[in-house]
Amino acid sequence: MGISITLTPIGEVIGGRIELEDDAWGEVESVIRLNPQQCTEESLRGLEEFSHVEVIYYFHLVGDEKIEFGSRHPRGREDWPLVGILAQRAKDRPNRLGVTICELVGVNGLEITLRGLDAINGTPVLDVKPWMQEFSARGTVKEPAWAGELMRNYW
């Protein structure tokens, strides 16, 4: 392999939080401001008919030296198991990608207002997709206890 893929952000997160925090993202409101060199108002036509959107973004503040390729304790909690970086959702991961489903508050020109986007002010946005309930996990979802604990106060 060894190929590389070059992407251009379609926009940027404006507002919301200035610094990353672990928890209580649920009520945070922020805006994705689309880049007019990449998108037009037409790119968003009909988005308001959806209640939720899925955002793919880039953890731009993670330095190369921080990226984990092996395993670690989620949030450094040694009472939780050692977990591979691809078996947790930590930001310090290969390619630094984040994905979140959040509530659509409104669309205004090239600005999309969202509630519950867990990305800070200035985060580059790589994609916005409408959330369709048919894309939810099919079948019964199972996850380990540490994940439920970690997520308890996330939103």
Interatomic CA distance for residues 96 and 15, integer angstroms: 21
- How many residues touch a copy of itself under the rule CB under 8 A: the total is 77
> Which secondary structure element, helix H or strand E, spans residue 106, and what is its range?
strand 97-108
- Which of residues 14, 29, 54, 121 is near a copy of itself by CB under 8 A? 54
List of residues 6+ apart from 144 with CB closer than 8 A: 81
108 belongs to the binding site for a copy of itself (CB under 8 A)? no
Comparison of 78 and 133: residue with beta carbon closer to a copy of itself:
133
106 belongs to the binding site for a copy of itself (CB under 8 A)? no
- Which of residues 17, 29, 39, 62 is near a copy of itself by CB under 8 A? 39
14 belongs to the binding site for a copy of itself (CB under 8 A)? no
- Return the closest-CA partner of residue 72 out of 99, 58, 90: 90
Contact 30, 14 (CB under 8 A): yes
50 belongs to the binding site for a copy of itself (CB under 8 A)? yes
123 belongs to the binding site for a copy of itself (CB under 8 A)? no
